[in-house]
Chains A and B, each alone.
Chain A
Amino acid sequence: MLSLLTGVQLQALPIDSNTLLSVLWVASFFVFFFYGTRLQTYNALREVGSGLNKLKVMKDKARKEAIEYLTNVGKAPADPTQRVDQFLDYVTIMPVDMDPQGLVGKVDHVVTTNNERVRGEVASLIGQTNPVSVSISENLLEVATSLNQIHKIVRHYYLMGKKTNSYFTIVQLQMLMPLIIQEADALLNAVDSFKVGQPVGDGIGAVVAARYMVGKEKRAVAKDTVMAISEYKGRKLYVLKAEGPMAYVGQPGLAIKKVVDELGVKPSAIIMVDAALKLEGEKTGEIAEGVGAAIGGIGVEKFQIEEAATNHKIPLYAILVKQSLVEAITVMRKEIAEATDKVIQVLNRVIEEKTKEGDEVLVAGIGNTLGVAQ
């Protein structure tokens, strides 16, 4: 078709169409040989730029939602916009790790300081003291901060790549962009669940623990963490979870350490129930059993639990409910919620198999306990 057209149009020229096509082919070969990388860079820049715009829309939306919540639900006495903008740029500087001895304690100290600062900041921003609203405000601000950070980092590499015309910087960013957008989208979706106090997928451990705690006397064992004593087939169960229905994750590491070290409890087993990220292809709500400390996060809580278990030679068992990142931080899906009864069956079986009558067992429901009381 092309040769026909060019042949018709170029009849008047002194060269035939075949020669012209050959010249064009050779010319395009040289163009792509010398400028191919640049063309790909332009294409990658365009794609990354489009992703960056999406990230900007997301972070602006999360910021707006946080401000609206603080104003409308939190009854902020003054316009919180300026304080929220300052909050979004607040940084947490992790301790130096050149000398790793005592590093976990230092990280714990920095993280605890940051958490207290966030709570203090929120308390000064809003005009009410309802703990659920305060905790939701904290979570909304953290989501907005995370999205702000993601946008800033991506923008930094985008502009660096553009300025230096660095093909490799831009292409790496282009390849990572779908994953970054997916994570940012999950964070933004979490806002909708947080605003109305709906349990999130990560709260499955808390839902299971709550089943054992209902109607029992509760006591605080660490910050935002409560424990109740229950009974199952002659075993005394010490069940703990973060205090709900606030959007807390509590301090299960410190709580387990305290129960074992200070309260004189001698558990024959520590059983932890938590949400776990599924691999692609795995079904949501699938249950996996294992050994070890089932807890995510920065590693401080995990370290404390492992240390307490090792010092007292207590076996650590894990029951995990599989879910994706999006499912973990957005409203709990039916498949995850319906896994509750199955997890309880597994938990009871583990208790029966690994302990005997008269033993003490520590059960920890790990995760964000928004919308799950006890």
Chain B
Amino acid sequence: MMSSVPSLDKKSKLLVYTIEECPICGQKTKRAFQVGDYVTKDGAKCTKDGNTTKISLVYAEPAPRQSS
């Protein structure tokens, strides 16, 4: 009887990132997710040794709060 229906519009905004990892030197690069990205897909060239990176993770984290 004390229950209340939660509001739909109080969602925290999430930003989705793709992590590209060099299989040789292990360098990780974080960039914004693009449609078509998936884990194990080939990524860009590694900025350190020029090898082709692979997407190792795709994840979301809360957007940083904007100061008003």
Contacts and interface: CB of A to CB of B under 8 A. Distances in A.
Contacts of B38: 197, 199, 244-245, 371-373
Contacts of A331: 14, 16, 58-60
Contact of A214 (B33, B36, B40): B40
A3 interface: no
Nearest to B2: A175
Interface stretch (A106-114, A145-153, A177-185): A177-185
B6 interface: yes
Question: B-side binding surface: helix, strand, loop or mixed?
Answer: loop
A135 interface: no
A340 B6 CA distance: 32
B63 interface: no
Contact of A177 (B3, B35, B40, B61): B3
What size tier do the contact residues of chain B reach? 20 to 34
Nearest to A182: B6
- Majority SS of interface residues in chain A? helix
Give the size category of A's interface with B: 35 or more
Interface stretch (A14-22, A47-55, A97-105, A229-237): A47-55
A40 interface: yes
Given A214-B40, A331-B16, A336 B8 contact: no
A197 B37 CA distance: 8
B22 to A, nearest CB: 13
Contacts of B6: 178, 181-182, 185
A372 B41 CA distance: 9
Contacts of A196: 33, 35
Nearest to A180: B5
B1 A178 contact: no
Interface in B37-51: 37-41
Interface of B: 1, 3-6, 8, 11, 14, 16, 19, 33, 35-41, 54, 57-61
29 contacts: A44-B1, A47-B3, A47-B5, A171-B1, A174-B1, A177-B3, A177-B5, A178-B4, A178-B6, A181-B5, A181-B6, A185-B8, A196-B35, A197-B35, A197-B36, A197-B38, A198-B16, A199-B59, A244-B39, A330-B60, A331-B58, A332-B58, A334-B59, A338-B57, A340-B57, A371-B37, A372-B40, A373-B38, A373-B40
Given A331-B60, A332-B60, A337-B57, 15 more contacts: A47-B4, A171-B1, A177-B3, A178-B5, A189-B11, A210-B39, A214-B40, A214-B54, A244-B38, A245-B41, A330-B60, A331-B14, A331-B59, A337-B19, A372-B38
